Chain A
Amino acid sequence: MTMPAGVSVDPPLALLAELTHRCPLRCPYCSNPLDLQRSGAELDTATWCRVFTEAAALGVLQVHFSGGEPLVRRDLVKLVGHATEAGLYVNLITSGIRLDADRLGGLVEAGLEHVQLSLQDSEPSSGDRIAGLPGAQQAKRQAAALIRAAGLPLTINAVVHRQNLERLEAIIELAVQLGAERLEVAHVQYYGWALANRTALLPSREQLDAATAAVETARAQLAGRLVIDYVVPDYYAHRPKACMGGWGRRFLNITPSGKVLPCHAAETLPDLRFPTVADASLTEIWYRSHAFAWFRGTAWMAEPCRSCERREIDWGGCRCQAFALTGDAARTDPACSLSPDHALLADARREATDATPEFVYRQHSALRQAPDPTI
């Protein structure tokens, strides 16, 4: 339970609070784990409130209310109010489904500062198909109008992949039309559900290049009106992303049942036991838990990371991706061209150009069909 020597630990900047895994949408790239938790396993109101108080005391500045769909929690207004009173800056990450003016009014009054609304496509038919819910696109348009009418800043989160990338320009236009001030264009990250759907989602090099050019053009045209954040896909990267800004350096994530993780996908890693909010305070967990210390800093690294001059820039990339692709969480992220496993990404790209299979939609395990053999 001790920290490797020489690792100085700053307080975390942000907390991702996954209030629930319940969601009206069934997106095939959902970042939730394959084994979704049911409502009975969720932390209750009082426990979440205690957690927000602990987070503020630890030095967390921003809390992102996420899920699943946070709006399915009946106590959401109360949770937002408590987090705000504790001094946290509250952001809501939502599908917008079931948002109405009364609910939103309550959230604004409770202190909500910002909303991130997901958008699956510009075309309603494709948007509804990707979300796995008829009428989803229309509900999102209404949600955006309500959010803007309430005076809240709006960010549109658009996850892009081979089945919607050709409409990226229209997606950007729609974000402007919906009154967004920010647009996040995020290529799918391949963990969990997205990894199960990788061949259906991974774009071609041509699609990626066109998308990058479209973003650059739109940024110039819309400067001062719309800020566009762009996340490039690992599968075409030369250097890995500094996942979460480094393990246990800036963020913590709490699952619906109260497990405290360094990132939302960390539960996929074997042999690491993550503490829960019932075991210890967030301060104790952040500074003294085995799980948060495990990949913190650079002492855990093997070559080529260990002697790399970028080791404190990208922190070895993503541990979950290293494990998902190589079976060893301590290896260099294969997204790095210096990784001995880098060819795995080229294999996946080739595989994806051969066929576009049906989506495996997100659903609770008892209902799930036989999963793709690649997961």
Chain B
Amino acid sequence: MTAGRPSLESSAVLSFAPHVRFRFDETRQAWIILAPERLLLPDEQAIEILRLIDGERDVDAIINVLAGRFDAPRDVIAGDVLPMLQDLVDKKVLRQ
């Protein structure tokens, strides 16, 4: 259902949408995303990416940080990062 919509550009700067809370839950010892009628439990890879969302870094910069951190080729990292961020934009968890 994503066909026909503009895909995420590497220069896009993302932030969490208003009324979306990304926080650590002490009870479960886990990172969680709270949003209207949604509770998301991001996996470890998603958490690494989401912790770099600060409303300043663009998508390119996020990929660079992760490529450096995991000593992995940039295009491999981009292949993981872009679909995940696109999905969260579609779900209105993140916005440009």
Contacts and interface: CB of A to CB of B under 8 A. Distances in A.
Interface of A: 11, 13-14, 58-59, 61-62, 89, 91, 113-114, 116, 151-153, 155, 181-182, 184, 219-220, 223-224, 227, 229
Interface string B28-57: 100010101101000000000000000000
A14 B32 CA distance: 14
A292 to B, nearest CB: 17
Contacts of A61: 25, 32, 34, 39
A192 to B, nearest CB: 23
A306 B27 CA distance: 32
Nearest to B90: A224
Main SS of chain B's interface residues? loop
B54 to A, nearest CB: 21
A181 B27 CA distance: 30
Contacts of B74: none
A223 B1 contact: yes
Nearest to B18: A151
Q: Which of A114, A152, A220, A229 has the most CB of B within 10 A?
A: A114
Looking at chain A's contact residues, the main secondary structure is: mixed
A132 to B, nearest CB: 27
A181 B28 contact: no
A172 to B, nearest CB: 16
Given A11-B28, A62-B34, A227-B92, A153 B19 contact: yes
19 contacts: A13-B39, A59-B28, A61-B25, A61-B34, A61-B39, A62-B34, A62-B39, A89-B34, A113-B21, A114-B19, A114-B36, A114-B37, A116-B37, A151-B18, A182-B36, A184-B37, A223-B2, A224-B90, A227-B92
A208 to B, nearest CB: 23
Interface in B1-37: 1-2, 5, 18-19, 21, 25, 27-28, 32, 34, 36-37
Given A89-B21, A153-B19, A181 B36 contact: yes
Contacts of B25: 59, 61
Nearest to B91: A227
Interface of B: 1-2, 5, 18-19, 21, 25, 27-28, 32, 34, 36-37, 39, 90-92
B1 A153 contact: no
B27 A11 contact: yes
Contacts of A91: 36-37
A223 B2 CA distance: 7
A340 to B, nearest CB: 36
Contact of A220 (B1, B21, B27, B37): B1
Nearest to B6: A224
A4 B50 CA distance: 40
B3 to A, nearest CB: 9
